[in-house]
Every structure is written in structure tokens, then in C-alpha cells.
Amino acid sequence: MTRETKTIILDAAETLFAEQGFAATSLRAITSRAGVNLAAVNYHFGSKEALIDLVFRRRIIPMNRERLSRLEGLERADDGSEPSLEALITAFVAPPLEMARDAGSGGTVFIRLLGRSYTEPSATMQTAMRAMYEPVIDRFKQAFARALPQVPPVELYWRMHFMVGVLAYMMAGTDMMRLIATSRVADSPDIGELVRRMTDFIAAGMRAGPGSTTPAGGMDRVEA
């Protein structure tokens, strides 16, 4: 029963953090939603900050393990061929989005929280996240460099940023432009189709030839 309570608190905290952010979510709100006593958080976790840390750790670590395992699977193909660019992108992009669909309990809401936290500037969070992400980023950077030998390293660096931006925005699912249809990831009927759309978009962007579109870039301003 002792670990049961911790899990219940984690689930409640995860939901409220995703909805309101960290600072706006009080321990009272968390414990009341979890149906446990106010003192339980400090007993089980020590502090609010430690709770936040565990909320992330619980799901990010398996998620990144899944990304790496997909990547390794691609690189150990039987025929010894190099993985395609699309396969690499999918290996990076699909795990969080499928998590939003699959994880019965709180996976859906966690992905929204994670998408938000990409733009969270708190120093504590930044360093914690970097520690969890660094190995993944390193491995994928090498893989992308092999798949795109014609793209200069600096350009590739920026394009990986762009990829993360697309992913983070979809994960956060805030529907800034919701004027046509559903756009929250969790509501979307077919995650596989979203993954395919994102992969196509990102792959084309990553392959973009240098200079192909340059002339139009800087001269279109109407007035200073």
C-alpha cells in the first residue's frame, strides 16, 4: 500500500501540472485530488520540487529508452543498410505521441505537460531535462549526420532544433489555430497519421537544398 499512495499522488500531480503549470498548482490541490492527506506529499517526497522531479522522471526515462531502442533496431538491420531519414525521424517523434495514445492512465496528460516544459525556463528543470535528454540527442545527432551527409553540420544542428519545435508544439496541443478541426493530440483519432504527417514535413525540411530558396528570404519587407 505504501507505493500505491505515491503513485496516486504522482498521477494527480501530473494532471494538475499539465493543466495549470507548476507554480499555480498547490499541494492542497494535489492531495485533495488524490484523496490523500495534505501532509502525504512531504512525507513521501520531501518537498514539492522533489515531487515535480519524480513526475518527469517516471515517464521520460522509459520514453527515451524506447527512442534509443528503436534507433538501435534500425541500425542493426539485417541487410546492413543505413536507416532512412524517415525512419530516424519516426524513431524520435513517435514514442511521445504514441505514449499520449497508449498509456491508459496519465500518459495523455503527461505528454501535454512535457510539451509545455520544453519552453519552461526554470533553471532546475532545464538541467534536469538536459541530463535526461543528452544521451538521446547525441545518438540521434550522429545518426542524422550519417543519413544527411550533404547537409553541413551547423545547418543540421538548426534543423534538429526545428524538429524538436514541431514535436513540442504538437505535444503541448494548445490549438492556437483551432479554427477548422480538432488538433489536440489526445483527441486526434489516428496518432499514426499524425506521425506520418510530421515525419513527411520534417524529412522534407531536413533535406532542403542549401540556397534553393535563399533569394526570396530577405528582400520582401514592405517597410522598415
Contact residue for its own copies among 35, 62, 135, 165 (CB under 8 A): 165
Stretch that binds its own copies, among 5-13, 28-36, 44-52, 64-72 (CB under 8 A): 64-72
Burial of 124 (0-12, 13-18, 19+ CB in 10 A): exposed
* Cα distance between residue 200 and residue 194, in whole Å: 10
Chain contacts with DNA (rule: CB under 7 A) = 1-2, 5, 25-29, 36-44, 46-49
Q: For its own copies, which is the closer residue by CB, 6 or 59? A: 59
Q: For DNA, which is the closer residue by CB, 28 or 178? A: 28
124 binds, among DNA, its own copies, none (CB under 5 to 8 A by kind): none
168 binds, among its own copies, DNA, none (CB under 5 to 8 A by kind): its own copies
- Give residues 86-145 in contact with its own copies (rule: CB under 8 A): 86-87, 90-91, 94, 112, 115-116, 118-122, 126, 129-130, 133-134, 137-138, 141
3-state secondary structure of 19: helix
The grid coordinates listed for 48 are 514539492
* Cα distance between residue 41 and residue 35, in whole Å: 12
Which long-range CB contacts under 8 A does 149-154 form with residues at least 24 apart? Answer: 151/206, 151/207, 151/210, 152/210
